[in-house]
Structure formats: C-alpha cells, structure tokens
Amino acid sequence: MEVPSHRQVLAFLEVCRDFHFSMAAERLGVAQPQLSRTVRELEEIVGTKLFVRQGRRVSLSAAGDVFLKEVYRLPAILARAVEGARRAAEGEESVLRLGFVGALMGDQLLAVLELYRKEHPDTQLSLVDLAPADLLRQVETGEIDGAFLGVEPKSLPRGVASFQWKEEPLLVCVPRGHRLAERKRLRIGDLEGETLVVLTGSLAPSYRDFLDGLFAKEGARIDSLRETNGSDAILSMVVAGCGVALLPRSALKAAGDRVAAIPVVGAEAKLREVFLYRPAESDRLGAMLSLLKG
C-alpha cells in the first residue's frame, strides 16, 4: 500500500489551518497550482476526496475529517520517537506519558507512580496536569499514553477505552463559620439555596454532568453557580466565602484547616475515578494497567 509523503501530509495540514488554498500556498512558499496538485496526489493515494470545494469555500469531507484526526497523531508520535531515542542514550529504555487532573493527585495515585518507577527503573515517567477535556483529547491523539480522570466521559472517542481504578467519596467543603460547618454528614438536598463553586463546564463537562445528576436524583436545585478553572481556585473561593463546593478528599491538600469538609450521604456521592488509554497501546502500558487493576 502506498503511503503519503511528508510533503503531501504537510500540504493537507496547512490547508486545514484556515481552509484557504492561496494562503496555505503562500505559507509553504509554493504556487497555488502546485499545492493543489500535491493535495490531489494525496487524495489519489487515500482513494477519496478529502476536501469539499463549493466555489471559493473549502471544507473537509467526511473522509477528510477522519484523516485529519489520524494525522494529528503524527507530531506526537515523532516527538515520542525523539524523546525515546534520547532516553535510550541515557540508559532508559522508554518513557511513559501520563496525564492527570491535579485535584486527584492524592496519596493513592502517588503510591502507584512510586511503585511503578521502583519496579520499572528503565522507564521514565512524564506527567502533565491538565483539564479533563484536554486529557481526553491528548489520549485520543496519542500525545499522552493514558490519563487519570475523576468521572468517566459520557462518550469516548474511537480507539479510546477506560476502566475504574479507584472510588473516592465526595465531601461538602464550606468555610469555617458556615451554617453547615458543624454538621457530621450532609445530604445533597441540604445544599439547596447555596452557591456552588465548580469548574468551568468546558474544562470538565463530565464532572458537571455528574453534579447535575446528583442534584436531580435528590430533587434539589442548584440555585447559583460560580465557575473557576482549578481545584485550588475552588478552595480559595470557598475560603473567601464565595460559595460551597463538592470535592474528593484528594483535592483538599491546599485548604489546610480553612474549610470544613463534611461527608455526603448516599451511594451515588462518590467519584468513580477512571483511567483512559488506547487499547492499541496495551503492550506499552501493560505494567501500569496491571498495577491499576490489581
């Protein structure tokens, strides 16, 4: 099977930047007819049209959309090859790229990472702290090998799988002196009328859906939301009296004794934390998968 050349893939990606052949040709330093020929060559290799042209308007065909998602993996694959070669030269055979949500970096996850390195000193761990939506995208594109999320996404991209590796109860976080601060346990319904401090929906859509579901099951309403971009920011807003929050204990490291953390009654008030990965990379992830599933 004939494989597209680097020149052809680069031409395709450049057109996809703004779907404008003239501007793409200018950036590549070639004439537009030459760029068009290169794209046609690529389409002949693929066996179908990658772009739909309607007058001056250019868009991706259904096949082009699939092709774009796949070739976006190439820079990550090349970067991994370069880094792997460098690690090998330094005596380490490979590197495992893992992503996580900062709020979930508790003792249990740290213990897993520590044990992995102890048992596999020839493999370097590369860790990134990102929002859930970004982690899902990077697992899909191959920029990272796996990711730890607090809530399983409603739908997973093709080629991505998940499994639950940990369960953690939710806590209601309120500032000291709050009307609920001395309670031993709380129900979700006890929070009706409170302002809930949450992550911005676009950063963690699955977590927002999870919270909405908790309130709906209790027949309670979220009267007011205040959004922010991280667990530390959520805790800071709680301490400042801007509202209350629902978080796992692993997210409370930065709060110290400035907030009261009260367990939530109910079997559903738990984070069933998942690990995302691509089954096609199972061999590469084998030791990590065994630790998490064991």
Which band of pLDDT confidence, cut at 50, 70 and 90, is reported for residue 84?
A: low
Q: What is the mean pLDDT of residues 190-205?
A: 90
Which band of pLDDT confidence, cut at 50, 70 and 90, is reported for residue 230?
A: confident
| Position 88 pLDDT exceeds 70 | no
Q: Give 97-131 pLDDT, tens digit per residue.
A: 999 998 888 889 999 999 999 998 888 888 988 88
Q: Which residue has the tokens 């990606």?
A: 13
Q: What is the mean pLDDT of residues 263-272?
A: 90
| Position 80 pLDDT exceeds 70 | no
Query: Measured on CA atoms in the order 275, 278, 284, 287, is the torsion positive or negative?
Result: positive
The per-residue pLDDT for 131 is 87
Q: What is the mean pLDDT of residues 207-224?
A: 89
Q: What is the mean pLDDT of residues 285-290?
A: 93
| Position 92 pLDDT exceeds 60 | no
Q: What is the mean pLDDT of residues 13-34?
A: 90
Which band of pLDDT confidence, cut at 50, 70 and 90, is reported for residue 69?
A: confident
| Position 286 pLDDT exceeds 60 | yes
Run of H or E residues at 44: helix 32-46
| Position 75 pLDDT exceeds 70 | no
* Least trusted range by pLDDT, from 35-44, 198-207, 253-262: 253-262
| Position 79 pLDDT exceeds 90 | no
| Position 56 pLDDT exceeds 80 | no
The per-residue pLDDT for 42 is 93
Q: Give 125-161 pLDDT, tens digit per residue.
A: 889 888 898 899 899 988 899 999 999 998 899 899 9
Q: Which domains does the chain have, with CATH numbers?
A: 6-71 (1.10.10.10), 93-294 (3.40.190.290)
Query: CA-CA distance, 25 to 37, in Å (whole number)?
Result: 11
Q: What is the mean pLDDT of residues 223-249?
A: 90
Average pLDDT of every residue of the chain: 88
| Residue 137 CA neighbour count, 13 Å, CB half | 10
Please give the single-letter amino acid code of residue 69: K
The per-residue pLDDT for 159 is 92
Q: What is the mean pLDDT of residues 64-84?
A: 74
Query: CA-CA distance, 261 to 178, in Å (whole number)?
Result: 11
Query: CA-CA distance, 36 to 218, in Å (whole number)?
Result: 59
| Position 31 pLDDT exceeds 60 | yes
The per-residue pLDDT for 264 is 94
Coil, strand or helix at 175: strand
* Least trusted range by pLDDT, from 60-69, 203-212, 250-259: 250-259
